[in-house]
């Protein structure tokens, strides 16, 4: 854990399967971002699920979710990320904790219990109490029920309804819970943010760019990025960098935004990006173009059609950045464009994009919120242009394993 913030909170969402923990996590992290509360949502489950799973078509979500295993290696990586946290965390641990998950409990500081039946509540109370977590809320999850607050002093207790994937909810119970979390996170979050940005502001060769400041410079409203803004964003970043200066990106943004900015400055300018999952400031990997994929922890399938090749990755929810120095990816047949598809950390997305610039005529990143579509993030041709949409060929079992 960061020595400057020894009590940096890690708030675990606990409860039985299908209680709505992942949906609640989505609503909480979305609301915290709109209120500019720096934090990180750590999904400590090996299924590749992210915010996209609540925003995409639910039939597609069920098709592309990858149900992984809670292996000892996976648990060790999650425990490492918890211990090395550099922002307040929201943590979804899943619904079936076992004794080998004890390190995850020990690394958290607070807890929320979401339950259907009283025995579930009692079990999770005992789990959290025995591991020293301070419970801030116990909420009965009733999909078709009526929201109510039973206690607002001490532990927040009540009923929260409507936690259904793909649906947005508005509730005074959710608002009350959110205020508790803001009170817990805010004192640490802003101090952490100042420390993160200050670490590179003192280095003259790096231009530190917070993504919310980029939105302001472009005259954009709101907190969410849209792919039609990519061309303007990349042009703006290209003009702001002087020779010999690198770009340091900070803040929350979609994979295709990070990919486009990484592509826009390569190879003239170096890139660093802030990884909120415990790595702090890191650079893209020097990935080699070779014959096969050698990225430990990832499985890959290549799908080729008339003019495009899709690299579809699975198993990438927890990768070890520090052991991927010899990563290799395959040559893409000319004149195919490239689509990157599947869950992976932002640092791997930027690494892959920079590796393939100049090797293919254009690069796109799949966006599950658009269904079977991808967003073009770099192009050496007039068509497709940056920010345009292209279809993603279906991943089929006869694809080439790599």
Q: Answer with the residue of higher pLDDT: 176 or 170.
A: 176
Asked if 186 and 130 sit in the same domain, the reply is: yes
331 within a domain of the structure (yes/no) = yes
Asked if 152 and 222 sit in the same domain, the reply is: no
Q: Looking at residue 344, what is its pLDDT?
A: 87
356 pLDDT higher than 90:
yes
Asked if 179 and 222 sit in the same domain, the reply is: no
Cα 59 to Cα 56, 322, 337: the distances in Å are 9, 36, 27
**Mean pLDDT value of segment 268-279:** 88
Which strand ranges, in their side-by-side order, compose the sheet holding 156-160?
40-43, 89-92, 10-14, 110-115, 134-141, 156-160, 148-151
1 within a domain of the structure (yes/no) = no
CATH number at residue 155: 3.40.50
Residues 6+ apart with CB under 8 A from 290: 328, 329, 330, 331
Asked if 263 and 371 sit in the same domain, the reply is: yes
Asked if 232 and 169 sit in the same domain, the reply is: no
The lowest-confidence range among 112-116, 221-225, 340-344, 385-389 is 221-225
Boundary of a domain, candidates 170, 195, 220: 195
Asked if 52 and 95 sit in the same domain, the reply is: yes
259 within a domain of the structure (yes/no) = yes
Mean pLDDT of the chain: 85
171 within a domain of the structure (yes/no) = yes
Asked if 105 and 240 sit in the same domain, the reply is: no
The pTM assigned to this predicted structure is 0.81
5 within a domain of the structure (yes/no) = no
Confidence band of 341 (pLDDT split at 50, 70, 90): very high
The label of the residue with tokens 């958290």 reads: 108
Tokens of 372: 């079977």
Q: Looking at residue 3, what is its pLDDT?
A: 45
Asked if 179 and 285 sit in the same domain, the reply is: no
Domains: count for the chain: 2
Q: Looking at residue 289, what is its pLDDT?
A: 87
Boundary of a domain, candidates 172, 195, 218: 195
**Mean pLDDT value of segment 23-41:** 90
Confidence band of 51 (pLDDT split at 50, 70, 90): very low
Q: Looking at residue 225, what is its pLDDT?
A: 93
Asked if 337 and 366 sit in the same domain, the reply is: yes
Asked if 281 and 223 sit in the same domain, the reply is: yes
Confidence band of 48 (pLDDT split at 50, 70, 90): very low
Boundary of a domain, candidates 154, 175, 195: 195
Asked if 94 and 211 sit in the same domain, the reply is: no
7 pLDDT higher than 80:
no
Phi and psi, residue 217, nearest 5°: -65, -30
Which range scores top for mean pLDDT: 166-180, 201-215, 227-241? 227-241
Confidence band of 62 (pLDDT split at 50, 70, 90): very low
174 pLDDT higher than 70:
yes
* Domain around 276: 205-401
DSSP one-letter code for 319: -
Residues 6+ apart with CB under 8 A from 258: 249, 273, 346, 349, 350
Q: How many residues does the chain have?
A: 402
Asked if 108 and 244 sit in the same domain, the reply is: no
């Amino acid at each position: 854990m960061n020595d400057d913030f020894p009590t940096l909170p890690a708030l675990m969402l606990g409860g039985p399967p299908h209680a709505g923990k992942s949906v609640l996590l989505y609503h909480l992290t979305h609301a915290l971002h709109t209120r500019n509360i720096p934090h990180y949502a750590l999904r400590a489950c090996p299924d590749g699920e992210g915010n996209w799973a609540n925003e995409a078509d639910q039939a597609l979500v069920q098709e592309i979710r990858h149900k992984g295993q809670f292996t000892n290696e996976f648990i060790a990586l999650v425990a490492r990320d918890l211990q090395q946290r550099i922002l307040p965390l929201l943590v979804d641990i899943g619904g079936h904790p076992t004794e080998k998950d004890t390190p995850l409990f020990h690394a958290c500081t607070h807890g929320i219990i979401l339950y259907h039946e009283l025995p579930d509540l009692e079990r999770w109370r005992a789990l959290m109490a025995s591991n020293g977590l301070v419970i801030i809320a116990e909420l009965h999850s009733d999909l078709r029920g009526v929201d109510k607050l039973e206690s607002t002093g001490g532990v927040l207790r009540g009923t929260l309804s409507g936690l259904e994937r793909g649906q947005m909810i508005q509730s005074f119970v959710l608002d009350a819970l959110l205020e508790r979390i803001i009170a817990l996170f805010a004192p640490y979050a802003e101090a952490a943010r100042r420390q993160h940005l200050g670490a590179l502001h003192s280095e003259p060769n790096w231009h530190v760019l917070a993504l919310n400041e980029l939105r302001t410079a472009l005259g954009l409203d709101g907190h969410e990025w849209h792919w039609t803004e990519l061309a303007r964003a990349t042009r703006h970043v290209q003009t702001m960098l002087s020779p010999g200066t690198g770009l340091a990106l900070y803040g929350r943004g979609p994979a295709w935004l990070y990919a486009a900015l990484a592509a826009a400055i390569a190879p003239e300018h170096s890139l660093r990006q802030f990884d909120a999952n415990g790595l702090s400031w890191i650079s893209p990997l020097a990935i080699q173009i070779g014959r096969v994929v050698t990225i430990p922890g990832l499985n890959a399938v290549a799908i080729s059609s008339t003019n495009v090749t899709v690299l579809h990755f699975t198993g990438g929810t927890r990768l070890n950045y520090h052991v991927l120095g010899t990563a290799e990816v395959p040559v893409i047949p000319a004149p195919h464009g490239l689509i990157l598809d599947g869950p992976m950390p932002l640092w791997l997305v930027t690494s892959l994009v920079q590796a393939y610039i100049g090797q293919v005529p254009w690069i796109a990143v799949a966006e599950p919120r658009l269904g079977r579509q991808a967003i073009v993030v770099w192009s050496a041709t007039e068509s497709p242009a940056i920010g345009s949409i292209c279809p993603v060929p279906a991943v089929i079992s006869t694809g080439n394993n790599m």
